[in-house]
Structure 1
């Protein structure tokens, strides 16, 4: 019960403390600033140069959203790699987990801090949204849904990356594993992958692999459609990654490292 007499869920103060701690760690070092600068440069570069933004003669952000999954596949594991690996490397994980808060608060706090940085990175592309409104009359609702999909995809990669970061004290190893898993999730539903699998595995297994594709789920948001199954898919990946990160890191309490 708070001082105002309102009910405060168990772990909420610890969650807020971890979010503040992690955001401080990001922004008091060059990490967040370098990440934001890299994203702010790379996202428009893909859209303008690779996606040929001006050659489409369309007032929308389709070139940006088309290349965001490939950018997020690399940058999100880079943002997630320090979450738990750095704690293990510095020997501070035992101190963090000995604080009077549940495991979920520590794990969710780390995720929310990193997801906030990812959200700021996506916000850095908003000038492009303003530009297309100046150039024409885009479907702003569809663009908003596209940004929602990008934020959910970023969250899924972050949650999985943080779970992998809890496995090792080496941030480079955590990054490589995160990129590999993000790559597999992205590529799973592509035709050449399912075509290659269809010749050697049962059809139900090919269909199962195709349904695992984050790129296929993201495509609906990219087209301005927010479907419930796709929302559930991304939120399940996020919940699973955050839970796994907490459980793996929590093994330290029993002597694991």
Structure 2
């Protein structure tokens, strides 16, 4: 398989100033085979829930120091962290609630399992639908965000100053990692993907690397013909 040019990922200085302790890693995958959730992906989610419960040891997710740091970052750009939770906290709450984690598709189940087991935000993007590079910026409020409401497609706009991931066409994820847009989400037809893993101090960078390595290993195991690369920011 011929390697493609890596997707450009940048973090704007304004975001660095807002959260100096932020770091991300990327896992790029090409030649994936996605499909409906199955026994294997469901087992990964169940094991992740078990690992999360052991990690928290009776505490609520927001009492974990890493999630507390994400709440502080959300507050810094004007979001209400108890109302619009970062993706790691939201998934952790669902994992521990009655009914547990949703089953979406194999790739989404896989990265959700890593998010829950390591209590870190993880997102998955279909790189065939990303236009140009991706950047983490503070929004002007004029950017377009494609989502759905009541089952119908709608276009929203982020709040001025909101931290968002975006590409050349618009916002791909609002409020840092709160809500992903429909344009770049992973579907049953996705074959090329970018997985973003994010941390704040005080989580050690080594813990983020361990999560990325685990994700890469699971992708290789379930997609033996795929090309998987773990990338650190330049």
Instruction: Verify same fold: TM over 0.5.
Output: no
Provide TM-score, normalisation by structure 1.
Answer: 0.29
Provide TM-score, normalisation by structure 2.
Answer: 0.30
Query: Comparing both structures, which one devotes a greater share of its residues to strand?
Result: 2
Which of the pair has the greater relative contact order for Cα pairs under 8 Å at 6+ separation? 2
Query: Comparing both structures, which one devotes a greater share of its residues to helix?
Result: 1
If you compute each CA radius of gyration, which structure gives the higher value, 1 or 2? Answer: 1
